[in-house]
């Protein structure tokens, strides 16, 4: 299994469009464009998971620097998500009071 980061996506690109871009390189386990929770608008990047690592590496090589929906993609293997410390201070989420 390989997790692929896809950056510089057009705000018009959705999950289906992202999946379609990678389908020619092998089986897709998932394709997800990351969206803002409040607005529902794309954040301009997404992730594709492919079960076959070799097919994923071929997709990265082929699609990095290619244009989709008018934007030049940045495609590479995703790094593991880092644990971030809990936010403190003025803008930190506050517990609900009932």
**How far apart (Å, rounded) are the C-alpha atoms in residues 22 and 63?**
8
**How far apart (Å, rounded) are the C-alpha atoms in residues 8 and 21?**
14
Buried b or exposed e, range 56-67, using 16+ CB within 10 angstroms: beebbeebeeee
pLDDT, one tens digit per residue, over 35-73 is 999 999 999 999 999 999 999 999 999 999 999 999 999
Query: 9 or 83: whose pLDDT is higher?
Result: 9
CATH number of 2-77: 3.30.70.330
Query: 37 or 94: whose pLDDT is higher?
Result: 37
The structure's pTM equals 0.79
pLDDT at 89: 60
Domain boundary assignment for the chain: 2-77
């Amino acid at each position: 299994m390989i997790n692929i980061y896809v950056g510089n996506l057009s705000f018009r690109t959705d999950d289906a469009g992202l999946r379609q871009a990678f389908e020619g390189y092998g089986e897709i386990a998932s394709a997800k464009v990351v969206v803002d929770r409040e607005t529902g608008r794309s954040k301009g990047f997404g992730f594709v998971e492919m079960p076959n690592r070799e097919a994923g590496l071929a997709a990265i090589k082929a699609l990095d620097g290619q244009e989709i929906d008018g934007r030049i993609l940045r495609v590479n293997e995703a790094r593991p998500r880092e644990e971030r410390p809990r936010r403190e201070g003025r803008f930190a989420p506050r517990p609900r009071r009932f």
